[in-house]
Every structure is written in C-alpha cells, then in structure tokens.
C-alpha cells in the first residue's frame, strides 16, 4: 500500500510540471464584426499604445514558491488589439487613412493572465483593459473597457488553458467596444 501511495504521489508530481518558459502565448482576440454598415466611409487615423506595466502576458505562481514565471505573447500585443479594433470599425463602414484630423487611439492598459498552480489543481484569472480615445479638432471621447474571466481545473494548467482565458476575455472587451453606441455615435457625429 505504501508503494502504491508513493507511486501515485510521484505520478501526480510529474503531472504538475509547469508550463515551459519557452512557450509563447498565442494572443488572437476575436473581433466583433458588424453585419451592416453604420457609416459610409468616414475616415480616421488609427494609432495605438502599449502602456502595460510589464511586457509579459501571463505569470505562473507555483504553490509555495516566491518566484513567478512570466510568459510572453507570440504576437506584438499592441498590434494584435489594434488590428482587432480596426476590423471592427472597418466592418461598421469606417475607413482608415494616414493623415486625418480624426484619430482613434487604442491603448492597451492591461492584458494578463495569472496562473495559480497548486499540487493537483490550478486556477487562471485573466484581465484585459483597453482605453479608446476618439479625437477630433473639436473635442474627444475617451472610454475604458475592462473584462475579466477565470478558469480552473485539475493538475497543471497548460499553454492552451492560458490562451483560452486571455482570448475569451479579449473578445468580450472587443464586443463591448463594438456594441458601444456612445462611441459609434460620437464617431458618426464628429468624423
């Protein structure tokens, strides 16, 4: 019986190996595309900034250890969100030009998943915050969109679990942006 318990413990600890630091997270936020155009070719210049405090996209906290393991994204995080917002606005009928007096800025304030890894279970908390500024010579509209989500499971979290949480939360935030009538109305009325 003692050998059986030791064998089970050894197997459980082997299954708890952490996500490799060499693994990169595939950040693929899904755009919410409009089925019909709300404007016809109103133009603006799209800019973006990554103002996150840290450049990793996820951290793994092992139970009982002080150090955390950072994971980075395969993609440029700023460009991934910029492209997703662009697709949404393009589907609504807006067009992008280089030198417009109308500017939409996408600021990546936060995009991180925290993995809490215990011996036989894990939990993942994801949070994404994007700040959108629509600016014209006469004024600007600024709004922050935040989303969060969780996932838990048995044994060890892997890269696909982290990707699933981050991409799901990112897509929720993008849906909030796409469905925000205040933003759309400001752009329609001022661009």
Q: Please give the full DSSP string across 142-188, using - where no structure is assigned.
A: EEEEEEEEEEEEES---HHHHHHHHHHHHHHHHHHHHT-HHHHHHHH
Domain-located, residue 31:
no
Which of 3-17, 19-33, 51-65, 77-91 tops mean pLDDT? 77-91
Q: Is 178 a residue whose pLDDT tops 60?
A: yes
**For 50-58, what is the mean pLDDT?**
95
Query: Could you report how far apart the first and last alpha carbons of the chain are, in Å?
Result: 75
**Structurally, how many domains does the chain consist of?**
1
- 112-140 per-residue burial string, b: 16 or more CB within 10 A, e: under 16: bbbbbbeeeebebbbbbbbbbbbbbeeee
Determine the Cα–Cα distance for residues 63 and 60; give it in Å rounded to an integer: 10
User: DSSP state, 92?
Assistant: T
Q: Is 179 a residue whose pLDDT tops 60?
A: yes
Domain-located, residue 87:
yes
Domain-located, residue 32:
no
Q: In sequence order, what are the beta bridge partners of 35?
A: none
122/4: higher pLDDT: 122
The 10s digit of each residue's pLDDT in 131-151 is 999 999 999 999 999 999 999
Domain-located, residue 121:
yes
Domain-located, residue 29:
no
Domain-located, residue 150:
yes
Q: Is 14 a residue whose pLDDT tops 70?
A: no
User: Global pTM?
Assistant: 0.84
Confidence at residue 22, expressed as pLDDT on a 0 to 100 scale: 59
Classify burial at 58, counting beta carbons within 10 Å of its beta carbon; exposed 0-12, middle 13-18, buried 19 or more: buried
Q: Is 49 a residue whose pLDDT tops 80?
A: yes
Tell me the percentage of the chain whose pLDDT exceeds 90. Answer: 80
Which CATH number covers residue 127? Answer: 3.40.50.10610
Domain-located, residue 140:
yes
Range of the domain at 42: 2-24+37-190
Confidence at residue 188, expressed as pLDDT on a 0 to 100 scale: 93
User: DSSP state, 25?
Assistant: B
Confidence at residue 139, expressed as pLDDT on a 0 to 100 scale: 94
Q: Which pair of tokens denotes residue 183?
A: 């933003």
Q: In sequence order, what are the beta bridge partners of 44?
A: 96
Domain-located, residue 55:
yes
């Amino acid at each position: 019986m003692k050998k059986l318990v030791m064998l089970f413990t050894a197997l459980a600890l082997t299954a708890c190996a952490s996500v490799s630091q060499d693994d990169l997270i595939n950040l693929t936020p899904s755009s919410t595309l409009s089925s019909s155009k709300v404007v016809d070719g109103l133009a603006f210049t799209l800019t973006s900034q990554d103002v996150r405090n840290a450049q990793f996209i996820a951290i793994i906290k092992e139970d009982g250890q002080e150090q955390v393991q950072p994971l980075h994204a395969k993609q440029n995080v700023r460009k991934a969100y910029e492209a997703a917002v662009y697709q949404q606005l393009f589907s609504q009928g807006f067009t992008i030009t280089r030198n417009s007096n109308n500017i939409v800025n996408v600021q990546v304030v936060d995009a991180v998943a925290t993995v809490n890894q215990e011996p036989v279970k894990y939990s993942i908390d994801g949070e994404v915050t994007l700040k959108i500024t629509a600016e014209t010579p006469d004024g600007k509209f600024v709004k922050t969109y935040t989303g969060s989500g969780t996932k838990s499971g048995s044994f060890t979290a892997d890269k696909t679990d982290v990707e699933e949480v981050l991409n799901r939360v990112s897509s929720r935030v993008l849906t909030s942006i796409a469905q925000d009538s205040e933003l759309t109305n400001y752009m329609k009325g001022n661009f």
